[in-house]
Amino acid sequence: MNDRLLLGRSIETGSWVHKLDARSKILAMILYLVIILLAHSWWAMAVLAVFSVSVLSSTKVPLKYYLKAAKPLRYLMLFIFVVQALTVKEGEALFTIGSFSLHEGGLRLAAFSVIRMFLLITFTALLTFTTRPAKLNQGLEGVLTPFKKLGLSPERITLMISIALRFIPTILDESQIIMKAQASRGADLKELPLKEKMRMLVSLLVPVISSAFRRAQDLVYSMEARGFRMDAPRTKYHRPAWGAADSVFILMFVIMGVAVALL
């Protein structure tokens, strides 16, 4: 019941980052992605790391929460490191055993890839930790608005995301209960051979899916009953306000980008 706490749940500390407009945070994340791709030297990496840690610290969210965000991907990172280190044969060979050889360039590239990935995951966690889902969603709508001309409907996309955010935890909870119910009927996934497992999966999926459809139907009724119509005009309760702090925030990332590109 507690796993969902990390999913789209903000941690309120009232820091200046929390108070920023969600749009500026989303833009900053995009800029950060670009900066990461621009960083190609140890110096650039070091400067970027210092910058990242200071921004993360200024959110007043304990740093271990950010580390936790990267934890599920630790094996993927290890895998990428090993594969890159073993396959990229650039620079001077450090040592060779039979057909295996480890090169200085490969090691460097592997390290860069993992550092990039690590920085990206921990840093983007800032977005969800410091922004309430509702605000995040509105920010996204704001960022997507320019794409309206291309036939994209920001309202539809954000409605979809907000309903998903709202119902995913509920459906996960429910799946857990159904799993327990079926385990009580002797279908314990953990204690069965693989062939049986597939059959048992049906006993979980059918109830979970049919329940999701039932919820969808109920939700449609209650939205329509409250007068909702797709693409009908609406006013907005939360009106994002771009302030000086938001401009400063974005400027920091731009400067960082330039610095990293030059290093």
Partner 1 sequence: MAIQLQQVSYTYADRSLWRQTALHDMNLDLPQGSMVGIAGATGSGKSTLLQLFNGILKPTQGTVSVLDVTIRAGEKPPKLLPLRRRVGLVFQFPEQQMFEETVEKDLIFGPLNFGMSPEQAKEAARKAMTAMGLDHGLLQRNPFHLSGGQMRKAAIASVLAMEPEILVLDEPTATLDPVSRAELIGLLERLCREEGRTIIIVTHRMDELLPYADRWVLLQEGRLAFQGSGAELAADPAVLERCGLTVPQSLRYWRAVAERFGLTGEKPRLTAESLAERIAALREPGGSAAEMRDRYE
Partner 2 sequence: MKTIHSDSAAGAAPDVITLERVSFGYDPEHPILHNLSLSIPRGQWVSIVGPNGCGKSTLVKLLNALLPKSDGEITVYGHRLEEETIQDIRRCIGMVFQNPDNQFIGATVEEDIVFGLEGLCLPYAEMEERLQAISAKLGIGHLLEKHPGELSGGQKQRVAIASILAMKPGIVIFDEASSMLDEGSRNELMEILQGMRAEGNYTILMITHDADEILASDRVLALHGGGLAADVTPAELFLDEELLRKCHLREPYPWRLARELQKQGIPAEVPASEKELIDRLWPSNFSK
Q: Decide which of partner 1, partner 2, none touches 223; Cβ closer than 5 to 8 Å per partner kind.
A: partner 2
Q: Decide which of partner 2, partner 1, none touches 9; Cβ closer than 5 to 8 Å per partner kind.
A: partner 2
Four-residue CA torsion sign, 156, 159, 161, 167: negative
What's the closest the beta carbon of residue 9 comes to partner 1, in angstroms?
A: 11
What's the closest the beta carbon of residue 52 comes to partner 1, in angstroms?
A: 23
Regarding 227 and contact with partner 2 (CB under 8 A), the answer is yes
Regarding 244 and contact with partner 2 (CB under 8 A), the answer is no
- Residues 204 and 209: their CA atoms lie apart, in Å, by 9
Q: Which is nearer to partner 1, 5 or 37 (CB)?
A: 5
Identify whether the C-beta of residue 151 lies closer than 8 Å to the C-beta of residue 196.
no
Regarding 162 and contact with partner 2 (CB under 8 A), the answer is yes
What's the closest the beta carbon of residue 164 comes to partner 1, in angstroms?
A: 21
Q: Which of 100, 184, 239, 244 binds partner 2 (CB under 8 A)?
A: 239
102: which strand partners?
95
Note the residues at the interface with partner 1 (CB under 8 A).
1-2, 5, 174, 177-178, 180-188, 191, 202-203, 206-207, 210-211
Q: Decide which of partner 2, partner 1, none touches 183; Cβ closer than 5 to 8 Å per partner kind.
A: partner 1
Q: Decide which of partner 1, partner 2, none touches 184; Cβ closer than 5 to 8 Å per partner kind.
A: partner 1
What's the closest the beta carbon of residue 190 comes to partner 2, in angstroms?
A: 26
Q: Which residues ranging from 127 to 156 are in contact with partner 2 (CB under 8 A)?
A: 132-134, 137
Q: Which residues bind partner 2 (CB under 8 A)?
A: 4, 9, 132-134, 137, 162-163, 165-166, 169-170, 173, 214-215, 218-219, 221-229, 232-237, 239
